[in-house]
Amino acid sequence: MEEKIKRRKSFVASLLLTLAAFIWGTAFVAQSTGLEIIGNFTFLCLRSCLAVVVLTPVSWFIYRNNRRKSGEGEHGENKTFISKRLVLGGILCGGSVCLASLVQQYGIILSSVGKSGFLTTLYILIVPLLGLLFRRRVKPVLWLCIAIATCGMYFLCVTSAGTIGIGDVLLVMCAFLFAVQIMIVDHFVQTVDGVRLSLIQFGVSAVVSAIGMFVFENPDPVAIGEAWLSIFYAGVLSSGIAFTLQIVAQKNLNPTVASLIMSLESVFAALAGAFFGERLSGREIFGCALVFLAIIIAQLPFENFIKKKSVD
C-alpha cells in the first residue's frame, strides 16, 4: 500500500515538473523579446518582484489553511510563517537562481541559440555527479537515461560544433548553478514548505538583481511599459508558477529524475517554435524523441520487476 502511494505521488510530481518544463520552454520567446527592450538586471528584478507579489498571498493562504486544519505542520514548520531553516534555504536557492539566470542571459548573447539550449541542460549530467559527493546513489538505469537525454539534447540543439567561446563557458557555469539549485531544493524541501521556499527564493533574487539594476543599468519606465507582457509572462508563469511547481514536485522525486524531466524545457521550446511556424528538421525530431525516451525509461518501475523476478 505504501509503495502504491509513493508511486502515485511520484507520478503526480512528474506531471507537475513536466508542466513547469512546458512553461519554461514556451517562456523562452517572451524572455528573449523582453531582453531586447530592457537590461538583464532590470528584467530579472521585475520578474522576481512580480513572482513575490503572486506568491505572497498564495503562501499565506496555504499557511493559514494548514494551521487551521492541524494546528502544527510536519516537523513544526507551521508554527511560524518564517523559520531560520526556511530563510537559509530561500537565500541559497535565491542566490543560485539569480546568478544562473544572469549568467544564462549573458551566455545566450555571446553564443548561438542552439548551443545555449544544449549547454544549459548539461545540469542533467551535473546533478547526479553532485549527488555522488553527498553519497546519493544513482541507479545504473538513470545513467543510461542521462546518456540518452544528453545525446537527444545535442541532436536537438546543436547544428554545428564551431569553436568554444566565452559564451559557451558562461552557459556551462549556468548549468552548474542550476544543478546546485536543484540539489539545494532537494535538501530543504523535505522539511520546509515549498511555496514559502519559492517566495523567499524570489525575494532574494529581486533584492540582488535590484542592486545590479541601479548600479549597472538605467531603468527606463517607457521601455519597461513596452516590455510589460514579457515581464508578466516571465514573472507570473515562468517564475511564480513554474519554479514553485519545481520545488513542490521535487519533494517526491529523485533529483536526477527531476533534472531529466526539467530538460524537456528545450524540447517544449522547439515544439513551441514549430507551432508558430518554425520547421523542425529530422535531426531535431530525433533529438526530441531521444529525450522523451530517456524520461519514459526513467519512470519505469524496474525495481519492482527485478523483485518480482527474484521472488519467482
Indicate yes or no: pTM above 0.85. Answer: no
What does the domain layout of the chain look like in residue ranges? 8-311
126-143 pLDDT, tens digit per residue, is 898 888 887 777 788 888
**Burial label, 163 (beta-carbon count in 10 A; 0-12, 13-18, 19+):** exposed
pLDDT tier at 213, thresholds 50, 70, 90: very high
Contacts of 40 (CB under 8 A, 6+ apart): 102, 105, 106, 217
Residue with C-alpha cell 529524475? 257
Please write the tens of the pLDDT for every residue from 1-58.
Answer: 677 777 788 889 999 999 998 898 887 777 778 888 999 999 999 999 999 999 999 9
Q: How much of the chain exceeds pLDDT 90, in percent?
A: 35
Q: Find the range with the poorest average confidence among 78-92, 100-114, 119-133.
A: 100-114
The Cα–Cα gap between 153 and 161 comes to 13
